[in-house]
Amino acid sequence: MELRALQYFVTVAEELHFGRAAQRLSIVQPALSQQISRLERELDVRLLERTSRRVRLTAAGERVLAAARETLAAAARVRVVAGQPAAVLRLGVASCVTPRLERAVGRMGEGERPAEPKLVDLPVTARLDAVRDGELDLALVLGAVTSAAVTAVRAWSEPLHAVLARDHPAARERAVSLHDLDPSGLRLPAREGDPPMHDAILAVLPVAPLRPPAGDILNVLFEVGRDPEGWTLMPAEQLAGSRTERLLQVPLNPPVTVDCHVVTSLATPEPCVESYVALFAD
């Protein structure tokens, strides 16, 4: 049984459409169909029910899908577990580079089992899916991870800061309370961009946001920068990659923190998970 066949099957199972799956895999559809049929013959079981209108998993296909994901994740980790020099470590991150990430990247090249980091910029949901499917070795996620399809371990806590325009009334304060910030000025990005971070912010707000979330964090920062009453909340380290002359970050009083997690596949050995957490811990 080839790992490639398992990857093809997982992709079809996720898309439930041979055309989309073939496009995602960069192969032609007939070749994909042949690989799936060959896998079914090898396993002596039907994995997919195909009609002219839809594709769906059989009961056996559901079971094989879970095992295939575990197998792909384990196979993706073989070089790292074996300790080969300069093994590639695929790390899912947000688009900004933080001091903590730079420090961890430096640590990856040290010790008896050095690794060559490959940073992959993905939205949080896609990041978790890629870890689950073995396409990433680990990912960083700020906020609670509720998925049971991955392993999430808290690595550090990060303070949230208020982000204000330079002419905001609280811009000259050394620290500001959430109760002193006008709820009507709060702007948040849409939840689908980063559900864990969005939920973590909602959990600490004294009142519900009055404005509906919209856009991504760049749009939010742009809007805050041109509104003297506008503000948002961001992790302090993430702000290091988003500094502009129009914005200020102000610590909160009392301080508010968000837990940050290292996320790996369920097949990742516990010693590897512990080593990943150590890369990012304080």
Gap between the Cα atoms of 96 and 101, Å rounded: 9
pLDDT digits (tens, 9 = 90+) for 204-232: 999 999 988 878 888 898 899 889 999 99
- Residues 214, 191: Cα–Cα separation, whole Å: 8
pLDDT of 198: 94
Q: What is the CATH number of domain 81-282?
A: 3.40.190.290
- Please indicate, yes or no, whether the overall pTM of this predicted structure exceeds 0.75: no
User: Confidence band (pLDDT; 50, 70, 90) for 245?
Assistant: confident
Domain residue extents for the chain: 3-76, 81-282
Q: How many whole angstroms separate alpha carbon 226 and alpha carbon 165?
A: 7
Per-residue pLDDT tens for 80-120?
A: 555 555 578 899 998 777 889 889 988 887 766 677 888 99
DSSP 164: E
What does the pLDDT read at residue 99? 86
Pairing of strands 138-142, 87-93: parallel
- What tokens does 107 get? 């640590």
Average of per-residue pLDDT values in the chain = 87
Nearest to 10 by CA among 59, 72, 100, 58: 72
How far apart CA 157 and CA 142 sit, in angstroms, is 9
pLDDT at 279 > cutoff 60: yes
In which band, very low, low, confident or very high, does the pLDDT at 4 lie, cut at 50, 70 and 90? confident
Q: Phi-psi category of 154—alpha, beta or left, where left has phi over 0 and alpha has psi -120 to 50?
A: beta
Residues 140-175 have pLDDT tens digits of 999 999 988 899 999 999 999 999 998 999 988 999
Name the CATH topology of 3-76. Arc Repressor Mutant, subunit A (1.10.10)
CA distance 231 to 192: 20
User: Is a pLDDT exceeding 90 seen at residue 266?
Assistant: no
pLDDT at 81: 57
Question: Which residue matches tokens 């898309």?
Answer: 15
- Do the beta carbons of residue 199 and residue 144 sit within 8 Å? yes
pLDDT at residue 196 is higher than 90: yes
SS3 assignment, position 114: coil
pLDDT of residue 2: 82
The per-residue pLDDT for 217 is 86
Q: Are 89 and 115 in contact (CB under 8 A)?
A: yes
Q: What percent of the chain has pLDDT over 70?
A: 93
- pLDDT of res. 282: 84
Q: What is the mean pLDDT of residues 40-48?
A: 93
Task: Find the mean pLDDT for residues 175-191.
Answer: 94
At 78, the pLDDT band (50, 70, 90 cuts) reads: low
Task: Note the helical H segments in the chain.
Answer: 3-15, 18-25, 29-43, 59-76, 78-82, 99-108, 124-132, 195-204, 217-225, 236-239, 270-280
